[in-house]
Every structure is written in C-alpha cells, then in structure tokens.
C-alpha cells in the first residue's frame, strides 16, 4: 500500500514580531537580518498558547482539507522540540482534543528535521498495513527557548504549526524517504539543559538555544547537497523532473544553495521563511500548506521535501502530490 497526502493545514499565532521591533531589543538591524537570513518577521505564541494549541489548529485545517472525519485517523505523530509537557506526549494531548481514542500517538524529536522523520515513520506504518490514515504534525513554540537578549539566535526563530493527513492509497504518493543523523555535532546547536542534566538552568529560566551559526551554516549547505543527490539516485530521477522544492525554512541563503545544487530556478522553490523565520519542525509543512492553498502545488506534481537541524539530523521525502 502507498501513502498519499490528502490534506494540508497550518497555523501561525497572531502576534507578529518584526525586525524593526527586534532592533529595540538587541544590537541588530532590519538590513542585517534580511540580507543574512531573508527573514522579515516571525510569529510568537501568546503566553497562554501552547504547542498543542498551535498543532490543533493546523490539524483541524488539514482534516477539513482532506475531507475526512477525525474519527478516521488511526495514527498521530507530532514532531516537536517544544512539547507542552515532559509527558504525556503532545500527540496524546491532540488525540484527546480531537476526541478520538485508542490509536497510537507519539512525539518525534529530531529538531528541524522532525517533520521529515515523522512523515517517514507514518509512511512505514501505512506501507506495513498498521495504519490507513495518519495525522502528521510539526509544531513548535520555539519562542520559549530563545534568549531574547542573544542576537545570534533571537533574530532567527519563530512559532507555528503545519500538518498533513497521510492516507493509504493504491497510487504512489511518497516515493522515498531518507533519514540521517550525526551526534558528533551536538555542541554546535543545542539547548544545553534538560530534565536529567543541567536541570538548574531550567529552574533559573536559562535554558536557551545556543548555536555556532557559521559552522551550522557550512555543514547544512554541504549536507543538504548530499541528501539531494541521495534522493535523486535512489529514485533514478533527474533534477529537472522535480516540480517543487519545499525546503526547511531556516535561512534564505541555505535554501538558495540547495536550489542551485538542483539547478532549480527560485520560482520552483517554496519560500516562506521571510514570513515566519525558522519554525523548526513546523517549517516544511507550513511551506507545503501555503503552496498547496495558493495553487502552485497541484495533484501529480513531484515534490522534494528536505530539512536539516540540531543533532545534527537531516533527511528528505520525495513524493508525488
């Protein structure tokens, strides 16, 4: 059995934080942020809004687009680095919100590559006849782990959620998925605290993203180039057969480098990073939903999804929409 996306959805919180506002918070400028990253603004969850709240709105939108009932869903996977609770998983919280009970639900933690991991896992559930209708979500409230006084990170990230319904199909949808990780780079991008280590940083409200941006940038560009080659080779397809690239929305310069590797004009690359910054696991499904809803991505198009993030983790999904 194949897996096909039958509906997409996304949600961005109402509160917008512009580059101009950031100028009054840290030593930065709109010009620096735009030229180095392409980001114009980011959305920030309200104080009482959680990752589950954002995920729920994206999920309801994807369910509606797919024309299914929530009761049809028999698997829920949420990719998130910023879950509501240590446990239960945010996927269990969503299941309760949707008032469906009994199906497997779990969170996936692969930072910015989380949604690619989650899609790949859902596809394997469907191809092994363990599920027929999966709700796959990427959702983050990264604003909760940002040091708003650190200009190296505060200008880059934002909150949001994206979701897809992935259903069993007799025609091909997902053509292949490719997942990787290399823990030797953990120190280049991390939040150096958790439940079982450096817990005092959490208690002191000092558990924030730290990053060596330059190094991350170099590895990201090289690695994404390799995952493109791996995906094309695995499917014996040529670069020009890909209709749309839906990349992780981290940085315009990283996105352009991947497009160049594919000899792809930027008209065929879905870019939303300018509108919401890096939303980690939410970024790929957010961009996908925008392009489906504005009519660029059409049924039958061949689409390459790719992402790179903390871990490092990286991966791709090639699919026929």
Residues recognised as catalytic: 112, 248, 278
Q: Applying CB under 6 A, does 286 fall inside the site for ligand ACO? A: no
Contact residue for ligand ACO among 136, 250, 262, 270 (CB under 6 A): 250
Q: Alpha-carbon dihedral of residues 96, 100, 103, 106, nearest 10 degrees?
A: -30
Please state, in angstroms and rounded to a whole number, the distance separating the CA atoms of residues 173 and 170: 9
Question: How many chain residues bind ligand ACO (CB under 6 A)?
Answer: 23
Q: Applying CB under 6 A, does 277 fall inside the site for ligand ACO? A: no
Please state, in angstroms and rounded to a whole number, the distance separating the CA atoms of residues 21 and 18: 5
Contact residue for ligand ACO among 28, 147, 235, 302 (CB under 6 A): 28
What residues from 48 to 77 belong to the interface with ligand ACO (CB under 6 A)?
A: none
Q: Applying CB under 6 A, does 257 fall inside the site for ligand ACO? A: no
Helix ranges restricted to H, the chain: 19-23, 30-37, 51-66, 90-97, 114-127, 151-154, 199-203, 213-235, 252-261, 273-276, 283-293
Contact residue for ligand ACO among 69, 198, 214, 222 (CB under 6 A): 214
Question: Nearest Cα to 138, choosing from 248, 2, 301?
Answer: 248
CB of 107 to ligand ACO, least distance (A): 19
Let me know the angle formed at the C-alpha of 241 by 239 and 123, rounded to the nearest 5 degrees: 95
**Closest CB to ligand ACO among 156 and 317?**
156
Q: Applying CB under 6 A, does 217 fall inside the site for ligand ACO? A: yes
Helix, strand, coil content of the chain in percent (nearest 5): 40, 25, 35
CB of 46 to ligand ACO, least distance (A): 24
Burial class (CB in 10 A: 0-12, 13-18, 19+), 145: middle
Please state, as a whole number, how many other Cβ atoms lie within 10 Å of the Cβ of residue 275: 19
Contact residue for ligand ACO among 10, 19, 37, 167 (CB under 6 A): 37
Contact residue for ligand ACO among 77, 135, 161, 254 (CB under 6 A): 254
Interacting span for ligand ACO (CB under 6 A) from 1-9, 52-60, 212-220, 227-235: 212-220
Interacting residues with ligand ACO (CB under 6 A)? 28, 32, 36-37, 112, 151-152, 155-156, 189, 211, 213-214, 216-217, 220, 248, 250-251, 254, 278, 308-309
């Amino acid at each position: 059995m194949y897996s096909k996306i039958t509906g997409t959805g996304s949600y961005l919180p109402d509160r917008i934080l512009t580059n101009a506002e950031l100028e009054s918070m840290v030593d930065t400028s709109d010009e620096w942020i735009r030229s180095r990253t392409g980001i114009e603004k980011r959305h920030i969850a309200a104080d009482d809004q959680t990752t589950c709240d954002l995920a729920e709105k994206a999920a309801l939108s994807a369910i509606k687009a797919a024309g299914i009932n929530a009761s049809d869903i028999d698997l829920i996977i949420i990719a998130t680095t910023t879950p509501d609770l240590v446990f239960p998983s945010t996927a269990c919280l969503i299941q309760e919100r949707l008032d469906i009970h009994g199906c497997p639900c779990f969170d996936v933690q692969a930072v910015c590559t989380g949604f690619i991991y989650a899609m790949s896992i859902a596809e394997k559930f469907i191809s092994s006849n363990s599920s027929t209708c999966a709700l796959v979500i990427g959702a983050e409230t990264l604003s909760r782990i940002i040091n708003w006084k650190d200009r190296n990170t505060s200008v880059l990230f934002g909150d949001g959620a994206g979701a897809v319904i992935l259903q069993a199909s007799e025609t091909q949808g997902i053509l292949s998925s490719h997942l990787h990780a290399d823990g030797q780079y953990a120190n280049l991008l991390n939040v150096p605290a958790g439940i079982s280590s450096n817990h005092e940083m959490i208690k002191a409200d000092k558990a924030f993203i730290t990053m060596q941006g330059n190094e991350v940038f170099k590895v990201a560009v090289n690695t994404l180039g390799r995952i493109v080659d791996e995906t094309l080779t695995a499917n014996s397809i040529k670069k020009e057969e890909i209709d749309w690239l839906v990349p992780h929305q981290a940085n315009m310069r990283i996105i352009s480098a991947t497009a160049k590797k594919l000899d792809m004009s930027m008209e065929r690359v879905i870019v939303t990073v300018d509108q919401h910054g890096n939303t980690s696991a939410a970024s790929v499904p957010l961009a996908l939903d925008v392009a489906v809803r504005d009519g660029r991505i059409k049924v039958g198009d061949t689409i390459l999804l790719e992402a790179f993030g903390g871990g490092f983790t990286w991966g791709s999904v090639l699919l026929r929409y």
